[in-house]
Amino acid sequence: MKNTQTKKWMNLYDINMDAFVWCIRNNYKVYPVTDNNEDYKVVVEFEGGNHKFPQMYTKNTISRAVSDMYCKIYEQKSK
């Protein structure tokens, strides 16, 4: 029996492109950081300052966390 299990990758359509583009154009940068390649945190950089959020993520959840952060920034600041 052939193994049909595949890795789940984040679908590009899961990213809100309006939020992503707005953030980039307005100098927001969102990216993951890690010390041990197992636990990740989200960093938001804006106008020379940055904030590292305390929530921990795994390799499987960090891309969703970054995408969600772009959406949160967009929803709060774009109005």
Q: Flag whether 31 is in a domain.
A: yes
Place 78 in a pLDDT band, splitting at 50, 70 and 90: confident
For residue 27, being part of any structural domain is answered with yes
Q: What is the pLDDT of residues 9-57, one digit of tens each?
A: 455 556 689 999 999 999 999 999 999 999 999 999 999 999 999 999 9
At residue 7, does pLDDT exceed 80? no
Which residue from 77, 74, 34 is spatially nearest to 52, judged by alpha carbons? 34
Q: How far apart are CA 76 and CA 22, in angstroms?
A: 12
Between the CA of residue 11 and those of 8, 15, 57, what are the distances in Å?
9, 8, 18
Identify whether 7 is part of a domain.
no
User: How many domains are there within the chain?
Assistant: 1
Is 0.85 surpassed by the pTM of this model? no
Boundaries of domain holding 39 = 14-77
